């Protein structure tokens, strides 16, 4: 009697392939086309599905996992509107180089192209914002595609990959032959730093009297923080961080000048304006960093270390372009760099720091509203002090984001998470869920404005259902604060579309079983934060802040560093 071969469904093979890639958490929302995969989940208890309340939140939560762990996060949705709702989170991951794998259901292969119910060409839509995209038309290809997707997402310049799974492929039954998966297109490593480049860099570093080192997101993603710190401390050069480079090195480091760019510190921006050498490590010279390009650091040579060659010379011309992984390049540069005191250079930075602190130590001078309400800068500084700068902080997008970047002193590696390149409102709450699942024993704060909070406020339902212990610090100024600031400065104070009529956030959180309290005076701030820190479970602290406050300094968009405004 012939033996029957063991069989497996495509959906089960897909889940088994995810397990082999080490996936634990999937954030998603079910539907018709993806239902076969959901039906297979009970057979794979290693996979823990977190049902969000909106697919966009699934993509942001997957980012939270990726940003906190360094491994690809996973989001999953059905076809049509489920897939398109993932798009913002995928585009956000693309611009910030975050490794995620997005899984979408698709209509059966026999009706693709017929405008079938809930059909969308999600692959075509996402081509510009994904590293790679796959639509499966053969169940035997599932193991290879899954393996390759995770490999590509987290290799080289990290980023999102999408797998589109038609329903008939998920339902297909095939012999279970083990399926050893191999990657078809391995990514070649960068060539690395060459002897001529080392020698040229050495000459520039030796002759420089006013150098500054830029610490970008690549330092965190490559795990090169130790190598970069040794380079900095051997050379004694001052350094500044990009928005995403924050928390790569301790915020209390004596050589740190603070964040650079549009809302960077006075001392960092004026150092950049007067530098004779810029050493850029793992950053891409975004427009919020450079301002007006033809006026940017025009007297400085540039050493640019980057593992994506498309970013070298794209915006800022490099004197020494180094297409290399960060660690080996920094190691070689450390071998040849000398130590200098840079007394005049540090005195220049200290003078600018004192100048700013004399005007505005925590932004008090940039408000003209009701001083009885706390200021955002004061709130963030108090949180930083109470947590010793060691908690995980997930911000949303807007004024509160810049206040958090400026006034929270990050003293622990990779504890700052936010949407940078795309600037997606609604990022913080779902991303914080992903961070908390990745770091369950650590405290995770959401810092969010009233506008951003309402973008994905439905995820309070996910927090309730899953009992996710995150602390939400809601800075409520009853405005879309950053847009209001621009309207105030550049549009004649015509506040169109920015005043926000808000609900009772504390009552709303209570409806989801989440405790919280409202703070309207500075004297109540510290006790409220301490209660949130001690509370077991999610907690909302709503701070009613001064609606007129601005985040300063500010370099107006497209302007020169010399145009930096330090007061309103």
CATH number of the domain within which 212 lies = 3.40.50.1220
Q: For each successive 10 residues of the chain (568 residues), what is the average pLDDT?
A: 77 97 98 98 98 98 98 98 98 98 98 95 97 97 97 97 98 91 89 97 98 98 98 98 98 98 96 98 96 91 97 97 97 98 98 85 56 89 98 98 97 98 98 98 98 98 98 97 95 96 98 98 96 98 94 93 89
Tallying the residues shown for the chain, one arrives at: 568
- Here the tokens at position 171 are 């339902």
Catalytic-labelled residue, pool 55, 148, 227, 311:
55
CA dist 234 and 230 (Å) reads 6
Q: Is there a single domain that holds both residue 396 and residue 507?
A: yes
Please say if 179 is a catalytic residue.
no
- Known catalytic membership, residue 150: no
Q: Does any domain span residue 180?
A: no
How many whole angstroms separate alpha carbon 330 and alpha carbon 232? 10
DSSP 145: H
Question: Are 369 and 549 a contacting pair, CB within 8 Å?
Answer: yes
CB atoms near residue 80 (< 10 Å): 21
| CB-CB contact of 522 with 532 (8 Å) | no
If asked whether residues 294 and 385 sit together in one domain, one would say no
Rounded Cα distance between 69 and 65, Å, is: 6
Our answer to whether residue 117 is catalytic in this structure is yes
Is 331 within the bounds of a domain? yes
Same domain, 534 and 417: yes
362: in domain: no
Same-domain status, 124 and 208: no
Is there a single domain that holds both residue 235 and residue 160? Answer: no
Q: Does residue 566 belong to any structural domain of this protein? A: no
20, 71, 118, 458: which one is catalytic? 118
What's the pLDDT at 372? 77
Last residue of a domain, one of 175, 208, 229: 175
Same domain, 433 and 307: no
Does a structural domain hold residue 2? no
If asked whether residues 33 and 164 sit together in one domain, one would say yes
Residues 162 and 225 in one domain: no
Catalytic residue among 260, 283, 333, 482: 482
Q: Are residues 159 and 249 in the same domain?
A: no
Same domain as 64, residue 19? yes
Cα(274)–Cα(276) distance, rounded to whole angstroms? Answer: 7
Instruction: Report d(CA 86, CA 88) in Å as an integer.
Output: 6
Last residue of a domain, one of 143, 175, 207: 175
Q: Which of 167, 382, 436, 471 is catalytic?
A: 167
Domain range for 393 is 368-557
- Flag whether 152 is in a domain: yes
Exactly one of 43, 46, 117, 351 is catalytic; name it: 117
CATH classification of the domain holding 468: 3.40.50.970
Looking at the 3D structure of the chain, how many domains does it have?
A: 3
474 domain residue, yes or no: yes
Same domain, yes or no: 330 and 215: yes
Of the candidates 243, 162, 199, the residue with the CA atom closest to the CA atom of residue 410: 243
In a shared domain, residues 259 and 403: no
**What residues have CB less than 8 Å from 404, skipping those under 6 apart?**
380, 393, 395, 416, 418, 447
User: Hey, is 280 helix, strand or coil?
Assistant: strand
Is position 265 within any domain?
yes
């Amino acid at each position: 009697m012939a033996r029957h071969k063991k069989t497996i469904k495509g959906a089960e093979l897909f889940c088994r392939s995810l397990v082999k890639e080490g996936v634990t958490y999937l954030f998603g929302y079910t539907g018709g086309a993806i239902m076969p995969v959901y039906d297979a989940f009970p057979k794979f208890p290693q996979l823990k599905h977190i049902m969000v309340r909106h697919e966009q939140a699934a993509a942001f939560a997957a980012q939270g996992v990726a940003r906190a762990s360094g491994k690809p996060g996973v989001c999953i949705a059905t076809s049509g509107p489920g897939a398109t709702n993932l798009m913002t989170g995928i585009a956000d991951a693309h611009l910030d180089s975050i490794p995620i794998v997005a899984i979408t259901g698709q209509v059966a292969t026999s009706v693709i192209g017929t405008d079938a119910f809930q059909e969308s060409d999600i692959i075509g839509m996402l081509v510009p914002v994904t590293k790679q995209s796959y639509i499966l038309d053969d169940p035997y290809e599932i193991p290879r595609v899954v393996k390759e997707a995770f490999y590509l997402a987290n290799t080289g310049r990290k980023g999102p990959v999408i797998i589109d799974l038609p329903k008939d492929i998920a339902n297909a039954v095939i012999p279970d032959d083990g399926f050893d998966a191999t990657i078809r297109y391995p990514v070649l490593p960068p060539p690395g730093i060459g002897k001529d480049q080392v020698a040229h860099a050495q000459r520039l570093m030796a002759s420089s009297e006013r150098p500054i080192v830029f610490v970008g997101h690549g330092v965190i993603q490559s795990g090169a923080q130790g190598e970069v710190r040794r380079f900095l401390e051997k050379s004694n050069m001052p350094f500044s961080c990009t928005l995403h480079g924050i928390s790569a090195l301790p915020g209390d480091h004596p050589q740190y000048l603070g964040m650079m760019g549009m809302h960077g510190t006075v001392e960092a921006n004026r150092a950049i304006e007067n530098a004779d050498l810029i050493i850029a490590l793992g950053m891409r010279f975004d427009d919020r960093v450079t301002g007006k390009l033809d006026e940017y650091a025009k007297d400085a040579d540039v050493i640019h270390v980057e593992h994506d060659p498309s970013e070298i010379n794209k915006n800022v011309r490099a004197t020494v372009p180094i297409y290399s992984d960060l660690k080996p390049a920094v190691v070689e540069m450390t071998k040849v760099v000398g130590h200098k005191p840079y007394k005049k250079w540090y005195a220049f930075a200290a003078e600018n720091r004192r100048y700013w602190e004399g005007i505005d130590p925590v932004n008090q001078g940039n408000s003209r509203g009701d001083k009885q309400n706390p200021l955002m800068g004061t709130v963030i500084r108090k949180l930083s002090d109470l947590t010793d700068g060691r908690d995980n902080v997930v911000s949303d997008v807007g004024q509160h984001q810049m206040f958090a970047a400026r006034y929270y002193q990050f003293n622990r590696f990779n504890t700052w998470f936010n949407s940078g390149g795309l600037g997606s409102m609604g990022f913080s709450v779902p991303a914080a869920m992903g961070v908390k699942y990745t770091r369950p024993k650590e405290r995770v704060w959401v810092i969010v404005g009233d506008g951003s909070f309402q973008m994905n406020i439905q995820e309070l339902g996910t927090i309730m259902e899953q009992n996710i212990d995150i602390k939400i610090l809601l800075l409520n100024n009853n405005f879309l604060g950053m847009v209001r600031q621009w309207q105030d400065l550049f549009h004649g104070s015509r506040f169109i579309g920015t005043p926000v009529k808000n609900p009772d956030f504390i009552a709303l959180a209570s409806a989801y079983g989440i405790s919280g309290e409202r703070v309207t005076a500075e004297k109540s701030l510290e006790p409220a934060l301490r209660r949130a820190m001690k509370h077991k479970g999610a907690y909302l602290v709503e701070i009613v802040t001064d609606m007129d406050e601005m985040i300063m300094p500010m370099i107006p968009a497209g302007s020169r560093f010399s145009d930096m405004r330090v007061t309103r």
